[in-house]
Structure 1
Amino acid sequence: MEKEKLVHEAYLVSHVVEENGSFPNNGRLPLLIYKGAFMLKPDDTTEAIKKTFAGNGYSNSWENGIYDYHHYHATTHETMGVFCGRAEVQFGGDHGVCIELNRGDAVVIPAGVAHKCLKSSDDFLCVGAYPNGRDFDMKYGKEEERPEADEQIAAVPLPDNDPVYGSKGHLHDCWYTQA
């Protein structure tokens, strides 16, 4: 499928997710939710999202749901594209923001931002990937993770491209002005 037919201009929802004690989050780079970024056709597979991400430099991809416990990554940013279903996801820890993700939405999670699936439809499936195929770590908001996690988060480079829109797009508008 042609990229022009798959990718659409999304409605952007962004949130700056501040440190909350247990989770470092990322008060510098906002969480980005692209509502309706992918116009998926009935015969599309998850490869459509993977190819878009890979074409923009995001690889080391996976397909699954989102864990039902708070976790974050200190060594990389993460992007996800919703292939089917819907999920209510909390970002930032117990008192964080809750966002409903639906088929075709994409999210860009800055390093350090906690995320957890609160509930989802039985058919919920998303594709995740990382800038330049970076390896991800798993952190759980434990006291002993800090301050090393804070140092790792500060060292994560900005991605070269937006995972959906490439050299243009919301990531450049929202993250490069904050750096």
Structure 2
Amino acid sequence: MSFAEDAKRVAERLTGIGRPSDGELKRLLRTVEPQTFSFKDDGETPNNPALPMLYYPNAVALPSDFDPAAVLEKIFDGNGWSNGIFDFLHFHTQVHEVLGIARGHATVRFGGGTGCTVTVKAGDVVVLPAGTGHQRVAPAEDLLVVGAYPPEGRYDQQEPGNLDHDAALARIRSVAVPGTDPVYGPNGPLRRLWTQNGAAS
């Protein structure tokens, strides 16, 4: 993130400029049922053996009178998920992650070498269960992503080939289902979709 983006975020937090009120925030949320994607362990990227990735297309309206990153940060933070998509394949073995596309679009490979490629755009939200590989595969000059993590879990960043695969799978399996959906809160679809897959909560 550039110095200008950092300065803008500090100013927004101090003044509230560009940030929606709680009432305005509720009007920006669109009710969408997420699409689910399950990825198999490809021997290098473990992915998550029990939980699907959740893709919420066009879940958030991003009008020009609000800063899009501030909108997504406020949604995620309000649901207990606090904190770019790298151009190298990586994953987290001890925490789930949410990515909100605040501006632009990007082509992202999810699930490692045997996964799928999705073009994400402003207003889209992707929830990655622990272990899910993700990598931006095409340059995107105008891309702005807000990433966040639930309070359950511990941040780590792993790359294929640089870890004990079996130990990584054991850590992935032990990550609890979060108490809230990062977009829709405690009654959102995340808990329903992830607990119906037999994951521990």
Normalised-by-shorter TM-score class: over 0.9
- Gap regions ≥5 residues in structure 1: none
Change (3 A) 1:164 1:156: same
Residue of structure 1 in register with 2:189 after alignment: 170
**What TM-score does the superposition give when structure 1 sets the normalisation length?**
0.92
Aligned residue number for residue 24 of structure 1 = 46
**Between the two proteins, what is the percent identity of the paired residues?**
36
- The separation in 2 between residues aligned to 1:133 and 1:124, in whole angstroms, is 28
Give the gaps of 5 or more residues in structure 2: 1-19
Structure with the greater alpha carbon radius of gyration: 2
Structure with higher helix content? 2
What residue identity is the alignment partner of 2:80?
G
Whether the 8 Å contact between 1:85 and 1:120 is mirrored in structure 2 is: no
Q: For each residue in 1:56-102, what CA deviation from the matched residue of structure 2 results, as whole angstroms up to 9, or x when unmatched? A: 1101x2xxx21111100001000011000001110111221111110
Q: Matched residues in 1 for 2:33 and 2:139: separation?
A: 22
Q: TM-score, normalised by structure 2?
A: 0.82
Aligned length, in residue pairs: 175
- Secondary structure of the 1:28 match is coil
- Structure 1 runs of 4+ with >6 Å offset: none
CA shift at 1:4, angstroms?
1.6
Q: Which has the higher contact order (CA 8 A, sep 6+)?
A: 1
Partner of 1:139: 158
* Partner of residue 129, structure 1: 148
- Match 1:83 to one of 74, 91, 102: 102
Distance 1:138 1:56 in 2: 23
2:94 and 2:30 map into 1 onto residues whose CA distance is: 30
Deviation at 1:48, TM superposition (A): 1.2
Which one has a larger percent strand, Structure 1 or Structure 2?
1
Structure 2: distance between partners of 1:124 and 1:83: 8
Aligned to 1:100: 119
- CA deviation profile, 1:15-42 (whole Å, cap 9, x unmatched): 1111111011012100000001110111
1:41 aligns with 2:84: no
